[in-house]
Amino acid sequence: MQQAHTGARTGDRIAFDPLVELLTAILVRHGANRHVAGIIARNCAMCERDGCTSHGIFRMAGYVSSLDCGWVDGTAVPVIEDAAPAYCRVDAKNGFAQPALELARKTAVEKARHTGLAAIAIRGSHHLSALWPDVEPFAGDGLIAFSVVNSFRCTVPHGGDSPLFGTNPVAFAVPRQGEEPLVFDMATSAIPNGDVQIAARAGQQLPGGVAVDANGAPTTDPDAVLNGGALLTFGGHKGSALSMMVELLAAGLTGGHFSHEFDWSGHDGAQTPHTGQFVLLIDPQHAGGRPFGDRVETLIKDMRFAGVQRLPADRRYRNRRRAEQQGIHIGVEERARLDALLEG
């Protein structure tokens, strides 16, 4: 077994903090300020640590590309508006969504504790990551958190014949008694776009039934999807209805762009969807009946009794614990790509 290393420049394994430092340096090198770079770097390192490789360091090239071509503003200062007792709006000012959420976090938690609910409506934002890092910390603070973000036109609505929706993930986090939060986070497309890119890079085929080519014919070729093809929603009309909900909450409600509305054709290198994000917080302390925490544990116990061995997020937490002991593995090629971004 390899040893964990604490230096960012040694070996195949790197500890969390040095990885964040390395990723921060790359983003600063490409025009983000330290505050923004630090938030995105930490988010990216968390995904890599938890084994969410489609949204870990694999995404650094996309962040850098969008920064380099001026599509996203890595120095944007988001503006928060206290819209109502349980509602805050944030204009991300063409910056990343995560700093905008960070700005709203304290206010939203206070609102949720006071009123029982809090909505955060972020517009003018770019989100290229997994959603669980946005909801899990709220559950760590004892709140139920739900979030949706829309992305870019690449998914055909059920019954339609051309792409309109994004891959549009939904994430949900619930606090647990003495345990890590229960979290799920999933694209409403049959597979996320990152998996298509990873398959294309690895020369692998996609599963059947998840995508069509530029002519609308079913395909398992990731290149055919990336070159004019499109994804399908998971579960046919059901995933499509959820994806529609994501468009309406993350963009329609927040004031952001629908996935099909923004035009990045004039920005060679633009890779971060310019849309919106919606977050809803609920404080279960205000719930009636039996304590919510007990009900969560009862349901999990009953699921276990029904034979369920793996809960959503179990895999991530297992990866996290391993990374905390052994460091985060970074392959030689990935490391070379990061070094090139740091120098380039």
Nearer to ligand NDP, 117 or 246 (CB): 246
Nearer to ligand NDP, 260 or 316 (CB): 316
Which of 203, 289, 310, 332 is close enough to bind ligand NDP by CB under 6 A? 310
Binding to ligand NDP by CB under 6 A, coded x per residue (else -) over 111-130, reads ----------------xxxx
149 part of the interface to ligand NDP, by CB under 6 A: yes
- Among residues 50, 73, 134, 195, which one is catalytic? 195
Which of 35, 314, 334, 335 is close enough to bind ligand NDP by CB under 6 A? 314
Q: To which residue do tokens 């709220």 refer?
A: 138
Q: How far apart are CA 340 and CA 330, in angstroms?
A: 15
Q: CB 223 → ligand NDP: shortest distance, Å?
A: 20
CA atoms within 13 A on the CB side of 320: 11
Q: To which residue do tokens 């304590």 refer?
A: 291
Q: How far apart are CA 68 and CA 184, in angstroms?
A: 33
Q: CB 192 → ligand NDP: shortest distance, Å?
A: 4
Nearer to ligand NDP, 239 or 327 (CB): 239
- Indicate if 195 belongs to the active site: yes
Is 56 strand, coil or helix?
coil
Which of 66, 155, 167, 233 is close enough to bind ligand NDP by CB under 6 A? 167
Listed as own residue / partner, the contacts of 313-319 with beta carbons closer than 8 Å and 24 or more positions apart are: 313/132, 313/136, 313/180, 313/181, 313/182, 313/183, 313/184, 315/51, 316/50, 316/51, 316/52, 316/132, 316/183, 317/50, 317/180, 319/49, 319/50, 319/51
Which of 186, 199, 250, 330 is close enough to bind ligand NDP by CB under 6 A? 186
DSSP 281: E
- Using CB under 6 A as the binding criterion, the count of chain residues that bind ligand NDP stands at 27
Nearer to ligand NDP, 244 or 342 (CB): 244
313 part of the interface to ligand NDP, by CB under 6 A: yes
Which of 95, 175, 192, 276 is close enough to bind ligand NDP by CB under 6 A? 192
306 part of the interface to ligand NDP, by CB under 6 A: no
- Indicate if 55 belongs to the active site: yes
Helix (H) / strand (E) element for 149: namely strand 144-149
For the residues of 184-197, what is the DSSP string, one character each? EEE-SBSS-HHHHH
245 part of the interface to ligand NDP, by CB under 6 A: no
187 part of the interface to ligand NDP, by CB under 6 A: yes
Cα dihedral across residues 42, 45, 50, 54: positive or negative: positive
Q: CB 97 → ligand NDP: shortest distance, Å?
A: 8
Contact indicator for 39, 96 with CB cutoff of 8 Å = yes
Nearer to ligand NDP, 187 or 232 (CB): 187
Helix (H) / strand (E) element for 145: namely strand 144-149
Active-site annotation, residues: 54-55, 195
